[in-house]
Chain A
Amino acid sequence: MKKVLVFLSMLLVVVSMAAKVELVVWTHEDPNRTPLEEGYIKEFEKMYPNVEIKRVTYPSDKIKEVLLTAFAARKGPDIFNIEIQDEYPYIVNGRVAPVDLSVLGLKNYNDLKNLYLEGSLDAVTYEGKIYGLPLELTNWCIFINKKYFREVGLDPEKDYPKTWEDMVRVSEKLVIRDGQIIKRRGFDFRYPYYLTFFVPMVEQLGGALFSADGKTAIINDNAWLKVLDFMKQWGPNGKNLGSPTYTAARKEFNKDNNTVAMCLSGLYQIDRIKAENPAFYNSKEWMVVPFPVFQNAVKDVRCNFYGHYYMVNAESSKEKQEWAWRFINFMLSHPQEYLTKVGLIQPRKDLIESDVFKNYPYANVFLEDMKKAHIVPLHPQGPQIEQLIREAVESVMLTKTTSQDALKTLKKKANDLLKEEQ
């Protein structure tokens, strides 16, 4: 009898273990987000003891390739997020599953769209279906260290750069050099994210990355040339105000160590300053201002925003897909905590209309800029085109290549790439 009982109890354990659903989540490293999401996992597992969630993090520059190789080998995780421009090929190639509306308790996609700010699900809408839910929508504004402004006789509240021409003028005042070597940069760009910050600069002057039908790349040579000239002037062969070969400005900014006075970053930077340098955070010697526009801009467009959308592997079992959407929905139902603890903006109407959002430092600056911005260009060849823009910009900044030559090469290569795809 005893033996039978032992056997039965073992069988029960085995059966219950076998019934457990294991979900694997791959996401990028974010020290502020990890404890928050680990907490949600514990809560979710408590609510649904048959589900076990394994959250794995990778550095943000590594996750793209790890994920790609995993999907190529058909061993991708059940849930993942990367930047939308890199997620887009996963949607186009049918590697991710559409949002399971029944799990979310919704009747149709319009009900889902109504929960979010207008257009914020467009990036993940493909052939009438929605393939992801936004973890964050991020745009970049200018972070300013007020102390260094005052040091050179500028009033940060009044003299902050409103135009790119102002940016050059202010940076020339702020820069400290030892011969040709820059000891303190006034401002520097966020290399190599050219689709995010560089393309809107071109658009301000009337240019575009793609034609309306998407068949031609690099529209309006004049606009591109002007921005390439601007970057040439910015670089070591021009006014020597910054360069991609220096440490990223946003990393230096938090240190408040007299190496950079302004940088380009998202709302999340505030929480990073708080975590990395509480003294600087508490000093209130920093502020955020909008993304500048050119003096003679023909279009008031601000820094492109990009998104991280949680997606579900289309090759996971139906059961896993259902649980995956249930878990994603559970995590994302805490938008205020994501804002206050991590500095991430989830474009949900209930968040944007809440007092928490309205009272969050500089959230309004980011929101106002976002209203004048659009999402980074999404195209299956997007990453290659960004690399081509990088080559063009860096060749004019770092070598003796003229803007005309760089543009000619860029135009040819980008259009060849599009033709190859067609």
Chain B
Amino acid sequence: MEKKKAIWGFIFTIPAIVFFMIFDFYPVINAFWMSFFKKDLLSLKPPKFIGFKNYTYLFTSEAFWNSVKATAIFTLGTFIPMVLVSLVLAALIMTRKRFQKFLQMAYYSPAVLSSVVAAMIWLLMFDPRGLANQFLNFLFSTQGIDYHWLSNENMLRLATIIVYFWKYVGYFTVIFVSGMASIPRSIHEAAIVDGASGWQDFLHITLPLLKPTTLLVSVMSMIQCLKTFSTQYLFVQGGAPRGPIDVITLNIYNTAIRDHQIGRASAMSVILFFVIMFFTYLQFKVSRSEEVTY
């Protein structure tokens, strides 16, 4: 009987598996395969097998290492503050007795916006005559200073980090809120009865029990940061210099679409794939020893 159920269970999953194979698995395998070939996107000639040449080219390419640097700066600059701030925001929301739902909705709302629209809105704000300069001039009581949001290397990197942070911090806050809500109330009550302060309760009860959620949020946000594209793409389209924000995905796009080098672009996506896999594995490995049970 159990075996029959299992067979039927498997049959019902076949459409999803087929869908996954065609639209996810096949392109991944194809990218791996393509990364060993030289192929011009427009050429009708068959791809030429060149072994690991695409990889050796990339590892000696200045532009590729610049992309690695841009991606690393963006990821570290976004994902660490995002995890910390969303945790703090979630804790603040949980302490509110009223407006919890409203605050969650308010923080979450930018995540609903398309990345393209978000980047366009922020591009207007970072225009030299836009709100960002006006705000900083007001804050520092200065007159007519251009903070070069879209031209200075560091300001440009900061600008893309701000856009991403603004867009996704609410999303991860909501995940933390649900993680905190799933911790049994009785554990907090027991701690308070034992004389724990609010801070001690957060530090010794909430934080350790929130470990699976923290892991989920950090893995998800890190993967998202490593895959960032539309903000950088639109900023470059809007006139910003490419170098400081030429993240790997943008480089992949330009290599494939502008340079027509689909083999080299595939090699870059394979490298990015392994980088993401490695960091995800590392995060799981680090946190496995402290699995949570109530």
Q: Point out the residues of chain B lying under 8 angstroms from A384, CB to CB.
A: 258-259
Q: Point out the residues of chain B lying under 8 angstroms from A71, CB to CB.
A: 41-42
Q: In the assembled complex, how far is the CB of residue B103 from the closest CB belonging to chain A, in whole angstroms?
A: 35
25 contacts between A and B (CB under 8 A): A68-B41, A71-B41, A72-B42, A72-B262, A89-B260, A90-B42, A178-B144, A180-B146, A181-B128, A181-B133, A181-B146, A236-B146, A243-B239, A244-B239, A244-B240, A246-B239, A247-B127, A383-B258, A387-B254, A390-B242, A391-B243, A395-B241, A398-B152, A398-B241, A399-B241
Q: Which of A90, A180, A192 contacts B145 (CB 8 A)?
A: A180
- Is B242 touching A236 in the complex (CB atoms < 8 A)? no
Distance A182 CA – B237 CA, assembled complex (angstroms): 21
Distance A72 CA – B30 CA, assembled complex (angstroms): 15
| A contact face: mostly helix, strand, loop, or mixed | mixed
> Which A residues, 64 to 82, have Cβ-Cβ distances below 8 Å to chain B?
64-65, 68-69, 71-72
CB of B204 closer than 8 Å to a CB of A? no
Distance A328 CA – B242 CA, assembled complex (angstroms): 38
- Is B40 touching A179 in the complex (CB atoms < 8 A)? no
State the B residues within 8 Å of A (CB).
40-44, 127-129, 133, 142-146, 148-153, 237-243, 254, 257-260, 262
> Which A residues, 42 to 66, have Cβ-Cβ distances below 8 Å to chain B?
61, 64-65
Distance A243 CA – B133 CA, assembled complex (angstroms): 16
CB of A39 closer than 8 Å to a CB of B? no
Question: Whose C-beta in chain A lies nearest to the C-beta of B134?
Answer: A181
- Is B241 touching A179 in the complex (CB atoms < 8 A)? no
Q: In the assembled complex, how far is the CB of residue B64 from the closest CB belonging to chain A, in whole angstroms?
A: 13
Q: Point out the residues of chain A lying under 8 angstroms from B148, CB to CB.
A: 236, 245, 398
- Is A179 touching B242 in the complex (CB atoms < 8 A)? no
Q: Which of B42, B144, B150, B254 contacts A68 (CB 8 A)?
A: B42
Q: In the assembled complex, how far is the CB of residue A291 from the closest CB belonging to chain B, in whole angstroms?
A: 22
CB of A94 closer than 8 Å to a CB of B? yes
Distance A17 CA – B91 CA, assembled complex (angstroms): 65
Q: In the assembled complex, how far is the CB of residue B222 from the closest CB belonging to chain A, in whole angstroms?
A: 28
Q: In the assembled complex, how far is the CB of residue A36 from the closest CB belonging to chain B, in whole angstroms?
A: 29
Distance A26 CA – B42 CA, assembled complex (angstroms): 17
- Is B239 touching A191 in the complex (CB atoms < 8 A)? yes
Distance A89 CA – B258 CA, assembled complex (angstroms): 11
- Is B44 touching A72 in the complex (CB atoms < 8 A)? no
Distance A224 CA – B152 CA, assembled complex (angstroms): 24
CB of A93 closer than 8 Å to a CB of B? yes
- Is B44 touching A94 in the complex (CB atoms < 8 A)? yes
Q: Point out the residues of chain B lying under 8 angstroms from A399, CB to CB.
A: 151-153, 241
Q: Point out the residues of chain A lying under 8 angstroms from B260, CB to CB.
A: 68, 89
User: Can you list the 4 inter-chain pairs with the closest CB atoms, starting with the nearest?
Assistant: A179-B144, A244-B239, A398-B151, A180-B146
Q: In the assembled complex, how far is the CB of residue A192 from the closest CB belonging to chain B, in whole angstroms?
A: 7
Q: Which of A64, A69, A245 contacts B239 (CB 8 A)?
A: A245
Q: In the assembled complex, how far is the CB of residue B188 from the closest CB belonging to chain A, in whole angstroms?
A: 51
Determine which residue in B142, B150, B152, B241 has the highest number of CB atoms from chain A within 10 A of its CB, and name it. Answer: B241
Distance A193 CA – B180 CA, assembled complex (angstroms): 53
Distance A114 CA – B225 CA, assembled complex (angstroms): 57
Q: Point out the residues of chain B lying under 8 angstroms from A61, CB to CB.
A: 237
- Is A245 touching B151 in the complex (CB atoms < 8 A)? yes
- Is B243 touching A183 in the complex (CB atoms < 8 A)? no
Q: Point out the residues of chain B lying under 8 angstroms from A397, CB to CB.
A: 151
Q: In the assembled complex, how far is the CB of residue A77 from the closest CB belonging to chain B, in whole angstroms?
A: 15
Distance A276 CA – B239 CA, assembled complex (angstroms): 24
Q: Point out the residues of chain B lying under 8 angstroms from A179, CB to CB.
A: 142-146
Determine which residue in A61, A181, A182, A398 has the highest number of CB atoms from chain B within 10 A of its CB, and name it. Answer: A181
Distance A69 CA – B133 CA, assembled complex (angstroms): 39
**Further pairs besides A68-B41, A183-B129, A245-B151: 20, Cβ < 8 Å:** A68-B257, A69-B257, A72-B41, A72-B262, A93-B44, A181-B145, A182-B128, A236-B146, A236-B148, A236-B151, A245-B127, A245-B238, A245-B239, A246-B129, A384-B259, A387-B258, A395-B243, A397-B151, A398-B152, A399-B153
CB of A394 closer than 8 Å to a CB of B? yes
CB of A177 closer than 8 Å to a CB of B? yes
- Is A65 touching B257 in the complex (CB atoms < 8 A)? yes
- Is A180 touching B144 in the complex (CB atoms < 8 A)? yes
- Is A243 touching B129 in the complex (CB atoms < 8 A)? no
Q: In the assembled complex, how far is the CB of residue B255 from the closest CB belonging to chain A, in whole angstroms?
A: 10
Q: In the assembled complex, how far is the CB of residue A137 from the closest CB belonging to chain B, in whole angstroms?
A: 24
Mark contacts of A270-294 with chain B using CB atoms, 8 A cut-off: 1 yes-contact digit, 0 otherwise. Answer: 0000000000000000000000000
Q: In the assembled complex, how far is the CB of residue B251 from the closest CB belonging to chain A, in whole angstroms?
A: 12
Q: Point out the residues of chain A lying under 8 angstroms from B149, CB to CB.
A: 245
Q: Point out the residues of chain B lying under 8 angstroms from A72, CB to CB.
A: 41-42, 262
CB of A95 closer than 8 Å to a CB of B? yes
Question: Whose C-beta in chain B lies nearest to the C-beta of A314?
Answer: B44
Q: Point out the residues of chain A lying under 8 angstroms from B43, CB to CB.
A: 93
- Is A181 touching B42 in the complex (CB atoms < 8 A)? no
Question: Whose C-beta in chain B lies nearest to the C-beta of A73?
Answer: B41
Q: Point out the residues of chain B lying under 8 angstroms from A391, CB to CB.
A: 241-243
Determine which residue in A243, A245, A383, A398 has the highest number of CB atoms from chain B within 10 A of its CB, and name it. Answer: A245
Distance A93 CA – B44 CA, assembled complex (angstroms): 7
Q: In the assembled complex, how far is the CB of residue A411 from the closest CB belonging to chain B, in whole angstroms?
A: 14
Distance A394 CA – B235 CA, assembled complex (angstroms): 14
- Is B42 touching A89 in the complex (CB atoms < 8 A)? yes
- Is B239 touching A192 in the complex (CB atoms < 8 A)? yes
Q: Point out the residues of chain B lying under 8 angstroms from A191, CB to CB.
A: 239
Determine which residue in B150, B259, B260, B262 has the highest number of CB atoms from chain A within 10 A of its CB, and name it. Answer: B260
- Is B241 touching A246 in the complex (CB atoms < 8 A)? no
Distance A242 CA – B243 CA, assembled complex (angstroms): 20
Q: Point out the residues of chain B lying under 8 angstroms from A383, CB to CB.
A: 258-259
Q: In the assembled complex, how far is the CB of residue B235 from the closest CB belonging to chain A, in whole angstroms?
A: 10
Q: A61-B237, A399-B153 are in contact. Are A245 and B128 (CB under 8 A)?
A: yes
Q: In the assembled complex, how far is the CB of residue B82 from the closest CB belonging to chain A, in whole angstroms?
A: 26
- Is B42 touching A178 in the complex (CB atoms < 8 A)? no
Q: In the assembled complex, how far is the CB of residue B94 from the closest CB belonging to chain A, in whole angstroms?
A: 41
Distance A178 CA – B146 CA, assembled complex (angstroms): 9
Question: Whose C-beta in chain B lies nearest to the C-beta of A76?
Answer: B42
Distance A243 CA – B239 CA, assembled complex (angstroms): 8
Q: In the assembled complex, how far is the CB of residue A136 from the closest CB belonging to chain B, in whole angstroms?
A: 23
Distance A192 CA – B262 CA, assembled complex (angstroms): 24
- Is B44 touching A95 in the complex (CB atoms < 8 A)? yes
Q: In the assembled complex, how far is the CB of residue B165 from the closest CB belonging to chain A, in whole angstroms?
A: 21
Distance A180 CA – B146 CA, assembled complex (angstroms): 6
- Is B42 touching A243 in the complex (CB atoms < 8 A)? no
